[in-house]
A and B are shown apart, each in its own frame.
Chain A
Amino acid sequence: MEKNEEFTPRILAFLCNWCSYAGADLAGTSRLKYPASILPIRVMCSSRVDPIFVLRAYLGGIDGVLVAGCHPGDCHYQEGNYYTRRRFAMLKKVFEETGLESDRLLLSWVSASEGQKYAKVATEFTGKIKELGENSTKNKIFL
């Protein structure tokens, strides 16, 4: 793991259609500045995210994964994000226990009106990933 100033992280972001994706859109239309490291994937609800999506991306070499959804209590489907939170906690625990870098995973609640928050999360998370350096699974052969 090297601190590479030239290194542009690639961060996969699962954004729920009703809140986070809209929030990210708002950040864009408001011309807020945030790093170009985020690769968004729109899902209808954050609870659509199966831990193995994150695993596949991580083993594929992605430097960070962000899962963003509506604030608890505001899920468009009422309860989806409560399950997301539990599933994410379990996923992080599996990463911790097996020695994988659980800091490369982030769960955040971003509502449709929180363009500022999205830009902040994107910027801070990118900074954290830059510190962690490139994901070494990128080069591994015997995965």
Chain B
Amino acid sequence: MTKSLKINKSTEQGVLELLKYLLENKKVKAVFTLKKIEKKGAVAYSLIADVKDLQDAVPFYPLMPVNAGNLLSRFTLKGSPDELVAAVVKPCELRGFVELIKREQGSLENLLIISSTCGGVYPTKFGVDGTVEKNLSKYWDAVKKGEIPDGSRPTCRSCEEFAPYVADITVDMLGKNDLDKQCMMFLNTKKAEEIAKGFKGDFSDKQMDSKKLDKAREKRGIEKKKLFDEIDKKMNGIDGLIEIFGKCISCHGCSKVCPICYCVLCEFESSDSEYGPSNFETELRKRPGLRVPPGTLYFHLGRLTHISISCVACGACDDVCPSDIPVAMVFKKVSESVQKMFDYIPGKNVDEKIPLITFKKDEFKEFEG
């Protein structure tokens, strides 16, 4: 039975109070969270060691400039911290991190993970042009009601995995209609219970209200079906794919911001994938012409075969694309089908092996010829 902690402050304030307590009493060495970093208010993840700097922290700001899974992986890649560090991340960022851990790109050791039932984020470009600030109250109104905030990322609007799996602390957020008056946190692990001891708040055995989460999930399921139908219409064979990816400039930004794409030298940028004069001459014998640089579709389909098993549908790829290609929805749709085949939810369980490196002796007979 997990314990819960109630603070009679707004949800964001309550969490900040807890973080302040943890830092001041040296229960954590530092806090990793979103923070306003410049005078004009650009928001970025920060590693905060001095409690004074917490005052600019905005842990639940509806923006994901970078998938924090990448950042936590970089933080722990060359060795975990010696002491506990608290990290406030969104559920898909956490799932991305877990998938990276399975690939030996990081560790949960000495990390206190705080997440929430997430209402979604806005595309990053809205953080640059001030749209997010203008829409903040509308955003929180929607989150309080469990509704989908207008203008949020397509992947967020269709997200059914908004409840974190491996967080030490889950902050009650989506569908909580008294977000501005009360902070409710669920302490999921012994680590969380231990660390919160001594903090001034109301501890109880209250559990998460799954009914309101189910309602929110239903709404997003309907939106998902709509978005999936749209992208399905476009993905009708080679010509459909050529249309979708027609304006791709092969910048590979989608791959670089993706938490799952961790290869330092990507296959599609290596000499393996490079065309020499004889390759071009061969291609020109087959075709009347060839787009150059070659391999645009090869890159996207190849990336799909490499990462679809673990795609957490965060939508970072969409935001970074300079050509406005709906990469995230293509990847989300295909990945969900692939993952369903193996009954696999990426990032749910750290100990669950990635399905492609395990097997059953009797399975998938339907794929054998």
A–B contact at 8 Å CB threshold (below) = yes
User: A interface vs B, CB < 8 Å?
Assistant: 51-52, 55-56, 59-61, 66, 72-73, 79, 82-83, 85-94, 96-101, 106-109, 121, 125, 136-143
The reply to whether the CB of B246 lies closer than 8 angstroms to some CB of chain A is yes
A85 touches B305 (CB 8 A): no
B359 touches A79 (CB 8 A): yes
Of B237, B301, B337, B364, most A-chain CB atoms within 10 Å:
B301
A52 touches B341 (CB 8 A): no
A55-B368 CB under 8 A given contacts A61-B286, A94-B334, A101-B237: no
- Min CB–CB distance A79 → chain B (angstroms): 7
B356 touches A141 (CB 8 A): no
Which residues of chain B are within 8 angstroms of A66 by Cβ–Cβ distance?
Answer: 369
B286 touches A55 (CB 8 A): no
Identify which of B3-11, B126-134, B289-297 touches chain A. Answer: B289-297
A98-B289 CB under 8 A given contacts A55-B298, A143-B298: no
Which residues of chain B are within 8 angstroms of A92 by Cβ–Cβ distance?
Answer: 367
Contact of A90 among B289, B295, B338 (CB under 8 A): B338
- Min CB–CB distance A45 → chain B (angstroms): 14
- Contacts A94-B305, A94-B334, A98-B235 supplied; 8 other A-B pairs, CB < 8 Å: A52-B306, A79-B359, A83-B356, A86-B363, A90-B341, A94-B308, A97-B334, A142-B246
Which residues of chain A are within 8 angstroms of B359 by Cβ–Cβ distance?
Answer: 79, 82-83, 85-86
- Min CB–CB distance B288 → chain A (angstroms): 7
The reply to whether the CB of B211 lies closer than 8 angstroms to some CB of chain A is no
- Min CB–CB distance A98 → chain B (angstroms): 5
A55 touches B287 (CB 8 A): no
The reply to whether the CB of B240 lies closer than 8 angstroms to some CB of chain A is yes
A100-B238 CB under 8 A given contacts A86-B364, A90-B308: yes
A139 touches B288 (CB 8 A): yes
B364 touches A85 (CB 8 A): yes
CA distance A121 to B308 in the complex (A): 30
In terms of DSSP, what is the predominant structure of the interface of chain B?
helix
A55-B364 CB under 8 A given contacts A61-B286, A138-B287, A143-B291: no
The reply to whether the CB of B36 lies closer than 8 angstroms to some CB of chain A is no
Which residues of chain B are within 8 angstroms of A106 by Cβ–Cβ distance?
Answer: 369
Q: Which residue of B lies closest to A58 (CB)?
A: B301
A141-B302 CB under 8 A given contacts A98-B235, A98-B241: no
A86 touches B238 (CB 8 A): no
A141 touches B289 (CB 8 A): yes
A142-B363 CB under 8 A given contacts A52-B267, A90-B309, A101-B237: no
Q: Which residue of A lies closest to B334 (CB)?
A: A97
Contact of A94 among B287, B338, B361, B367 (CB under 8 A): B338
- Min CB–CB distance A43 → chain B (angstroms): 16
User: B interface vs A, CB < 8 Å?
Assistant: 235-238, 240-242, 246, 267, 283, 286-291, 294-298, 301-302, 304-306, 308-309, 330, 333-334, 337-338, 341-342, 355-357, 359-364, 367-369
Which residues of chain A are within 8 angstroms of B338 by Cβ–Cβ distance?
Answer: 90, 93-94, 97
Which residues of chain B are within 8 angstroms of A142 by Cβ–Cβ distance?
Answer: 242, 246, 291, 296
Of A82, A94, A97, most B-chain CB atoms within 10 Å:
A97
CA distance A96 to B363 in the complex (A): 19
A73-B334 CB under 8 A given contacts A86-B355, A90-B308: no
A94 touches B235 (CB 8 A): no
Q: Which residue of A lies closest to B368 (CB)?
A: A107
Which residues of chain B are within 8 angstroms of A109 by Cβ–Cβ distance?
Answer: 368
CA distance A108 to B365 in the complex (A): 11
CA distance A106 to B337 in the complex (A): 20
B368 touches A140 (CB 8 A): no
- Min CB–CB distance B167 → chain A (angstroms): 29
Which residues of chain B are within 8 angstroms of A101 by Cβ–Cβ distance?
Answer: 237
CA distance A96 to B232 in the complex (A): 11
- Min CB–CB distance B360 → chain A (angstroms): 8
CA distance A109 to B368 in the complex (A): 8
- Min CB–CB distance A55 → chain B (angstroms): 5
- Min CB–CB distance B232 → chain A (angstroms): 8
- Min CB–CB distance A30 → chain B (angstroms): 21
Considering the complex of A and B, which 4 residue pairs feature the smallest CB-CB distances, nearest first?
A82-B359, A51-B305, A99-B237, A97-B334
A99 touches B240 (CB 8 A): yes
CA distance A141 to B283 in the complex (A): 10
